[in-house]
Structure 1
């Protein structure tokens, strides 16, 4: 497993990370035993970066990861944790909380659920519009100084916010959606990250399964599957978006890889400062994703992919309308 370093101040991690959100119901029911087996398979393959959030099924995901990682050398893996998104006992979200006292409170719970004495990369999931980012980051800096956190991360913020946060404490990486069908980060955010020496961890590299090569227009999202509310999976949009996948399929077949491997390899090819996160929740999907790191995309390949899936060619926003306002960049 090759490694990449998250920015100029962050840790060295596997060149492919595992996002655990799907193991806690985001895409419908998940098998607990299979989820744990998938984490174990990732570890055995050399994956060292595991991403979670305290609000993924309200602690369920952290407890699941703790169980899967129990007994492993704590220095053999890195935990990336998001915080600050508020939820009630039902499906509704209640906004974001980036107050310094809330930061420390969230962190205390996460340390306990994860069964660890430190978190490697700690990041607000979204910007709290009522709290200056300097105050949120200042609280994380205090936790870094106290040894409870190793590195500061950010998530889904714009370039100006990145600069303000970085002025308080060096940012290791920004976690943001980046894929062939979500490229807004390229305009302003990615150049700013590179100017400041900040890495990027890219989630949604398969568009929540839309560009994995496994989705079909007649497939319905099951109970509890958030894709049932996603504009890109809605009637009319999904059919168009799947024509992009078919264009990718021809390129993938010529390269001797799957559509999913091509999509992951494209993200990885955008720079050594980018680490793709795959949301595999089964060993089968993980096994398909891992060889993407060996797919060598030439300049001609990249040009052909760009022609097949031009920027802005996907239809539909990447989140439902209610969530778009909390994003630092659009589609």
Structure 2
């Protein structure tokens, strides 16, 4: 290998973010394997690669013993001292054994190592980039669909949108643009595996953070999110500034902000409620749009008894219990809902 060849390797390594030292150490290790493979040697060898000129030297390393039993690994003390009188028992003697045509094999081996290392480095950089974006939204293009798994091109990498992470009613075809939420980035032998979701509550949270400047700036805080993907969601918000209405900020002028998110989630209904440190008030808010007469809470059991007007009972419970279920998930409280007449009947 000539000097230009070495400079090209070094430059390529720097461009790809690989230390030249690491690159050349890897080439030397690969050259040892290449030497043993091509020259059938069981010797203990060392390869020296000159970083400037590209010159290669292969040395057999032999341990000095009284009488050599295996000349590939050992050298007698007499033979060692014929080379240099200072050798003692257990010293290691290096004898050059560079084959004449080793340069061509070395160049090919070095090229393979560089390509492999660059591939590993690129995979490492992609892993670092996307693992730092876990719990964030990414935009991608649908590449293909295999066994209901949707493969999304994110530019530098490909993500997998599994069937369990797809919203009900979602359909995908090649070339579709799609917004997804990164739930996990795994290291694999084939490079990073990026798992994305359209159903995760974090997707809704991040959409609000991107759409509502007050949330991005930390004035309005998202306290909790509960989702039944594609159907309905509830989000509890709190303002650190008394002059700013957190619900109004999230809804936006003429409902523009929340409508943008509803459109992104293919019509998923979103209830935005005001968080409250008082559990009773928080639970009443969480049952919105239903109106609540009273809320009794048991802190020890995290249980609440809610009374609503008779005509509001079905609204409070919701279709197939959806409203009550989402409110319970949002507040982390068990909620028992009764109408006024039911409560009165129990008292009697």
TM-score range for the pair, normalised by the shorter chain length = under 0.3
Q: Which has the higher contact order (CA 8 A, sep 6+)?
A: 1
Point out the structure with the larger strand share: 2
Larger Rg: 2
TM-score, normalised to structure 1, is: 0.23
TM-score, normalised to structure 2, is: 0.22
